Amino acid sequence: MPFTLVSEGVRNLSSLGLAGVRVILTRPRQQCDTLIAMLAKRGADARCLPVIEIEPPTNVTPATEALEHLSRFDFVVFTSANAVGGALVLKPDLPKVADIPAVAAVGPATRRALEQAGISVAITPEEEFSSEGLLRHPRLDSSLVRGKRVLIVKGAGGRGLLADALDAAGADVASVDVYRRSRPEVKISELLGEPLTDFDLIVLTSGTAIEHLLDMANGVEKRQILAMPMVVSSARIARIARERGARRAPLVAEGPEDEALVRSVESWSESQAENSR
C-alpha cells in the first residue's frame, strides 16, 4: 500500500517502483524524452526543465574548416552527443567522408550518436565515461599519441582537460566548437509550469545545468533548489552543487547514461522508504 513520508520534499510513494515520485530533469528539451519515458514506466512523473539551450557556435568557420579536412588528423575526439549533433549540422555529409581518422567518443551516448550517423568508433572509455576515463584508454597512452594530430570536437566553454592532457603528452591538439550552450531568458516557473515544491527530486547532468538553474532562480526558488535531494551524473557535478550551496550531499549515479540515472532515482526512493519505517 502507498505510504506517506514526512521528510522535506517527499510525498506519497509506492512500495512498487517509483509511483508517486516527481522528478525534475534539467537537460536540454530534446534530450529529456527518453529519460522521461523510462521513469514513467516505473511510475514516476518526470518533467523537463530545460535550463540549457543548444545553439550553433558564434563562429562556425574554424569547425567547418577542420571538419572539411579530417585527413589532417590522426584522431578525432567527440566529447558529447551534442558535439556529434553539432558537427553533423555543420557538415551533414560527415559520415560519407572516407578519410575519417580514428574516432574516440567520451561515453556510450556519444558513441551511439556517432554510430547512428554511420560513423565507426574506435575508442571509448572502458569504465568511467568522462574525459578522465577516455584519457586512460590504452590507445591514448602518451607513448602512442606523442606527435599525433588530434582534433577535439566540443561545445564552447567546455572543460579543457582533454586538450591539456593530450598536449602535455606530446600530441598536436586542435579544438573546435560545434555548438554552444545558452541560458533560456525565461523564468523557471514558466518553463516548469508548477512550483518547485511540487517535486521530490532534481536530476543534474552537467555543471552548466547547475549554474544556469541557480542563475535563473529567484531568491525563494534558489533556496528551494538547494534544499532538494539531487541525483547527479558524476562526482565533479556533486562537488559543484555543494560549492554552490546544496544542503544535502547529492546522490552520484554510476554515469550519465539514462539507465544509471534511473537506478539512482530508484536508490533514492528506496532509501526514503527505509527511512520512513
3-state helix, strand, coil in the chain (%, to 5): 45, 20, 40
Which segments within 106-244 are labelled E, that is strand? 149-155, 172-182, 201-204, 230-232
Q: Is 70 exceeded by the pLDDT of residue 11?
A: no
Q: What percent of the chain has pLDDT over 70?
A: 94
Q: What percent of the chain has pLDDT over 90?
A: 71
> How many Cβ atoms are within 10 Å of 53's Cβ, its own excluded?
15
Alpha-carbon span 95 to 217, nearest angstrom:
41
Tens of pLDDT, residues 248-269: 999 999 888 899 999 999 999 9
Q: What is the pLDDT of residue 130?
A: 82
Tens of pLDDT, residues 32-78: 999 999 999 999 999 999 999 999 999 999 999 999 999 899 999 99
Domains in the chain, please, with CATH? 3-52+185-276 (3.40.50.10090), 55-182 (3.40.50.10090)
Q: How far is CA 106 from CA 48, 93, 113, 173, in A?
A: 24, 22, 11, 16
Question: Which region, left, alpha or beta, applies to residue 104 given φ > 0 means left and ψ of -120 to 50 means alpha?
Answer: beta
Q: pTM for the full model?
A: 0.80
Q: What is the pLDDT of residue 90?
A: 95
Burial 171-207 (b: 16+ CB within 10 A, else e): bbbbbbbbbbbeebeeebeeebeeebeebbbbbbbbb
Q: What is the pLDDT of residue 205?
A: 93
